[in-house]
Amino acid sequence: MKISLLIHTIYGIGGTIRTTLNLAEELASRHEVEIVSVFRHRDIPLFDIDPRITVVPLVDTRPSSPGNEKKHPDQLKPAKLFPPHEARYKEYSELTDERVRDHYAGSDADVVIGTRPGLVAYAAQFAPVSTVVIGQEHMTYHHHKEALREEMRPLLAETDAFVTVSEGDAAVWREQMPLPDTRILSIPNSVPDPDVSPSDTTGNIIVAAGRLSREKQYDVLLKAFADVVALRPDWTLRIYGWGPERERLRRRVQKLRLYNSVQLMGPRSPIEPEWVKGAIAVSTSRHESFGMTLVEAMRCGLPVVSTDCDYGPREIIKDGVDGLLVPVGDVGAVSAALLRLIDDQQLRRRMGAEARENSRRYDPAAIAKQYTDLFAELGAGATQHNRGAPVAESARSAVFAPVADAVAKPDGSVTVRLITPEAAVLKHPGLQLLCTKVGDGAPSRAYPFDLDGSVTIPAADDFADGHWTCHADQPATGLRAEIFARTVDQRGSLKVADRLTTGAPVHHHVPYRRAPEQHLVLRSWVRPVHAEAADFLLSDRRLTLTGRLFGEAEPSGEPSLLLRRGGDSPEELSFPGTREGTRGFEVTIGCEVAVAHQHHPREAWEVWLRYAPGEEPVRVGRVLDDVVQKGDVFVYPEALFHKQRPLLLARRVLRRLRHQQQRLVKVKLAYDRDNALVLHVSDR
């Protein structure tokens, strides 16, 4: 049969998009599946889409597209057939009314599924008469305004089934809005088994993920983690996602002085390689219709601490078995639950194993069967059994498009494994992994693939410092293509500092997916001596920086930190430091000194370390972990100074002396594109 899923946009990131793709991919193995995306706002979707799925965008809103329809006359007219009290009503128009209606006027779909209230309304009005119409509820009954529920009542009555993601919410819908001719039932979201091995729960990272919005109550999480890190300072919290609360959360992190322990990581897709870096997952939401991130974390083998909010968490988590449920908004309960798991590694391991086992019930095959059973009960596709046969493997593999998984190993090596070795290796004798440096003519590095489609780059291989694009290359025929990275497991890069040998040069290779194409790239740091930044403290407008020296260097005496300004006003400032142990260092920078030497409204001072008298200094940076680009992840607070404006015209000195103004100058440490520290001094 043919199944059509109608969604606001498939080009973004979020729970509804992810679960729609999970269901579509599983259904595509036996049926013809299309995803109708009302809007297309970017060229390439952030999630990977199975090539068996047909994507049909209806309205192009890409800013750079010649076909951008944001100013289309009908797009400027409000929608007539979209519920006015729907949260996204202002984005819909007479143009969306027309495009959705026209698409389904010529549709031969057996099933049409609307994925939000307004799209359920569209499906009820526009789907062909003979088509089974199903509405999905990804929020909850109580989440919607009463006005919207009343607008939806007659439209829901026109659907064949209305599916919520939790049984608790389905019960509320059945009680509050009985629809005699519409089946109201619960089918949870699906989450596939991850393509990476599960977490061993032995690390010291707590992971949270989701939209950065107020209903997720990240403020509660930050307050709870402040209590945790006060007792367990070696633990860190990583928050993945984006949303309107990002900058406010960053300010909150700085106010709580958590900037050394909390990182806002931004969005990641796929998210599973990030979950498995953690030892514990946490969610502090005020409400969850389902709890997609909870299941994702559990499938990756993490025990979960979650608020016991309506409705999903209590249906997903078995309290005390595979996770811990705590009262909504209770900071003390969240911190206590986290500390309980932090302090009991055996409990973490046991709960993580239970979480992985219990979350199998959300496998896409099991969820897709519930949907196909529902389709059959509603009479869909009764006379069309042969449509949508899977695409033949020979047709899909006709084009050379290598796909691989990459793993950073704890010993520093990197393994690349082609997902389809039979097609890529046996059909292409002599196939090799070719690494080519971005931006200059450095010699390429080549590694032959084994017959099983895997190859390993040794940790000590002397790559030049920089980014290296990975190709699958067959020299005999000239066949070459960049490798698409399905998953990149960077766990081995987390503890790189522990394996570096004293006195040996630093070699660190981190594989990553380059946006937006998601091609495999290797970031290599190779240097004889490296000064790794660690914690940072701003106190009384003085910056104290700690770190450690690595590589072919012999520290002696007391270190000193140098600030170097280039450009047309070169200058060097020196600050004495102290040696901590054999290779550690601590230096305090007096911000007022840099402000006093400011010559231009915006200045950047490079940060260097002289680790011994008479030795050449080395740049201070942060490279010995899994984060390829530090600039937007490690963000430090700024120090503010008042500085008098200079009197530039002598003849006006007397007249302006009493009216001299002060300007505000900010001083802030940050990481540049190469992850080296820079002190920025600029007028605010």
Nearest CA to 34 out of 69, 60, 1 is that of: 1
Domains in the chain, please, with CATH?
2-186 (3.40.50.2000), 205-360 (3.40.50.2000), 396-527 (2.60.40), 529-683 (no CATH)
In DSSP notation, 444-466 reads: PEEEEPPTTSEEEE-TT--PPSE
Buried b (16+ CB within 10 A) or exposed e, 15-48: bbbbbbbbbbbbbbeebbbbbbbbbbbbeebbbb
The pTM (predicted TM-score) of the whole model is 0.90
The confidence score (pLDDT) of residue 663 equals 79
3-state SS assignment for residue 95: helix
Q: Using the predicted structure, report yes or no on whether residue 567 has a pLDDT greater than 90.
A: no
Task: State the DSSP code for 676.
Answer: B
Query: CB-side exposure of 266: number of CA atoms within 13 Å?
Result: 10
| pLDDT computed for residue 421 by the predictor | 78
Helices (H) and strands (E) in the chain, counts: 18, 33
Q: Which amino acid is at 104?
A: Y
Average pLDDT score over residue span 213-219: 96
pLDDT tens digits for 68-92?
999 999 999 999 999 999 999 999 9
- What would the pLDDT profile of 28-37 be if each residue is shown by its tens digit? 999 999 999 9
pLDDT band at 662 (very low <50, low <70, confident <90, very high): low
Angle between helix axes 292-299 and 15-27 (nearest 10 degrees) is 60
Give 41-52 pLDDT, tens digit per residue: 999 898 889 999
Mean pLDDT estimate for the chain: 93
Each residue of 299-328: pLDDT tens digit?
Answer: 999 999 999 999 999 999 999 999 999 999
Across the range 616-634, mean pLDDT stands at: 96
> How far, in Å, CA of 405 to CA of 257, rounded?
37
Please write down the HEC assignment for all residues of 3-44: EEEEEEECCCCCHHHHHHHHHHHHHCCCCEEEEEEEEECCCC
